[in-house]
Amino acid sequence: MAKLNHALGSEKRGFPGKAQPGADEGIIGFGTLNVTPGEEVACTAVDLLPLLLDKLERLREANESLLRANDGLLDGPSMFEENVQPVKVCFGLLLQAIGLTLAWPGFQRAQHSALLTSKRLL
């Protein structure tokens, strides 16, 4: 998530050439990403959105069946089993990835506004 957040400009950035306190911390692995234009990352992320939305729908169905198995109780006994926690984590990560992609400021520009409609996402 940190790389997607970094690439799509959702995180705050300082002035160019001015070092921010702690700016060198946690940037390992961002070298190639820093030279990749945000538009390219956004296009790739938008291409992956149908797949992410499909996975999200499958997780929603799994959660719904789990809820039915617990007679609609949100805190039923099987909701806290060992195998349910990874499903919850995946659900949260998918929502974060979709949210970061859709929050890209470039979609407000005319040249990129058709990117979402071309994939029939809006």
Q: Is 33 in contact with 25 (CB distance < 8 Å)?
A: no
Q: Which residue has the higher pLDDT, 29 or 109?
A: 109
Global pTM exceeds 0.75:
no
Contacts of residue 15, Cβ cutoff 8 Å, sequence gap at least 6: none
Pick from 17-31, 48-62, 79-93, 102-116: least confident: 17-31
pLDDT of residue 110: 80
For residue range 63-104, list pLDDT tens digits in order: 888 888 888 787 777 777 888 888 888 889 999 988 888 888
When pLDDT is averaged across residues 19-48 and rounded to a whole number, the result is 70
Q: Name the residue with tokens 């959702």.
A: 10
In the structure, what pLDDT confidence band is assigned to residue 26 with cuts at 50, 70 and 90?
low
In the structure, what pLDDT confidence band is assigned to residue 122 with cuts at 50, 70 and 90?
low
**Mean pLDDT score across all residues of the chain:** 76
Would you mind telling me the total number of residues written for the chain in this entry? 122
Region for residue 52 given its phi and psi (left: phi exceeds 0; alpha: psi -120 to 50; beta: otherwise): alpha
